[in-house]
């Protein structure tokens, strides 16, 4: 148990992806251990999910008048205290500066509900659906990528899945399929990373 890769999951809201990670660790599909769940939002459902799973649920909120870089340095301090091998941004909706990212090279993994280069930022699912309604696309997708720098939902791609937008889709139905695709892709991609880490050890 102690030798499994250590994951810190960071999320701002609902936490269905955090939940997928927690469950996959528990049932052995993901050879890793969630050592903490961190949220920037007090009362975020993801913190209750962590609590219910018996995991440290940590709120690190930005203080009034605190700069982004000071906040990120404080966040880095909290996260590094859990000695993570990987940090998973699973619905973390705050842009991270190098004050955070600089501490964790090749360790930060982000999930985004769009394919590389498409719909960075918020409301990616809604924006893809609106384009489909306008006849501009028939699919979108999900990606998992590394976060080397401050690029928004951008960085070396680890995995993608395409999700079809059906002619008679509702936004709710499309969204549900996107989330199901996310839960699966995030878990399998993390399982690949962690399996490689277990067989090769930490990078030099």
Catalytic (active-site) positions: 112
Cα-based distances in Å from 28 to 12, 67, 142: 26, 40, 23
* Rounded least distance, CB 173 to ligand GAR, Å: 15
* 106 vs 102: CA distance, rounded Å: 10
Q: Tokens at residue 17, please?
A: 């992806």
Q: What is the largest CA-CA distance in the chain?
A: 51
* CB 94, CB 12: distance < 8 Å: yes
Reference 32, options 89, 84, 108, 82; nearest CA is 84
* 5 near ligand GAR, rule: CB under 6 A: no
Provide the mask over 125-164, with x wherever binding to ligand GAR is found by CB under 6 A and - wherever it is not.
----------------------------x-----------
Stretch that binds ligand GAR, among 8-16, 33-41, 57-65, 101-109 (CB under 6 A): 8-16
Provide the mask over 159-198, with x wherever binding to ligand GAR is found by CB under 6 A and - wherever it is not.
-----------------------x----------------
Q: Which is nearer to ligand GAR, 15 or 141 (CB)?
A: 15
* Rounded least distance, CB 13 to ligand GAR, Å: 4
64 burial level (CB within 10 Å; 0-12, 13-18, 19+): exposed
Q: Which is nearer to ligand GAR, 5 or 15 (CB)?
A: 15
Cα-based distances in Å from 197 to 37, 53, 185, 201, 202: 21, 25, 18, 5, 6
What b/e string do you get for 30-46 counting C-beta neighbours within 10 Å, with b at 16 or more? bbbbbbbbbbbbeebbb
Q: Which is nearer to ligand GAR, 6 or 112 (CB)?
A: 112
Stretch that binds ligand GAR, among 1-9, 13-21, 75-83, 126-134 (CB under 6 A): 13-21
Task: Find the binder of ligand GAR among 4, 16, 68, 73 (CB under 6 A).
Answer: 16
Contact residues toward ligand GAR (CB under 6 A) are 11, 13-17, 90-91, 111-113, 124, 153, 182
């Amino acid at each position: 148990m102690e030798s499994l890769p250590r994951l810190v999951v960071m999320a701002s809201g609902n936490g269905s992806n955090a939940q997928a990670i927690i469950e996959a660790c528990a049932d052995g599909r993901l050879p890793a251990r969630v050592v903490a769940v961190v949220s920037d939002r007090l009362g975020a459902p993801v913190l209750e999910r962590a609590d219910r799973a018996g995991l440290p649920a940590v709120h690190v909120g930005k203080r009034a008048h605190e700069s982004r870089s000071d906040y990120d340095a404080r966040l880095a301090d909290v996260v590094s205290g859990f000695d993570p091998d990987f940090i998973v941004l699973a619905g973390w909706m705050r842009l991270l500066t190098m004050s955070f990212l600089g501490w964790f090279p090749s360790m930060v993994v982000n999930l985004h509900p769009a394919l590389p280069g498409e719909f960075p930022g918020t409301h990616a699912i809604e924006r893809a659906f609106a384009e489909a309604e306008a006849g501009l696309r028939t699919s979108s997708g999900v990606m998992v990528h590394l976060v080397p720098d401050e690029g928004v939902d951008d960085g070396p791609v680890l995995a993608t899945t395409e999700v079809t937008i059906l002619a008679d889709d509702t936004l709710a139905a499309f969204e549900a399929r996107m989330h199901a695709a996310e839960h699966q892709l995030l878990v399998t991609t993390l399982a690949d990373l962690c399996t490689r880490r277990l067989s090769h050890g930490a990078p030099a």
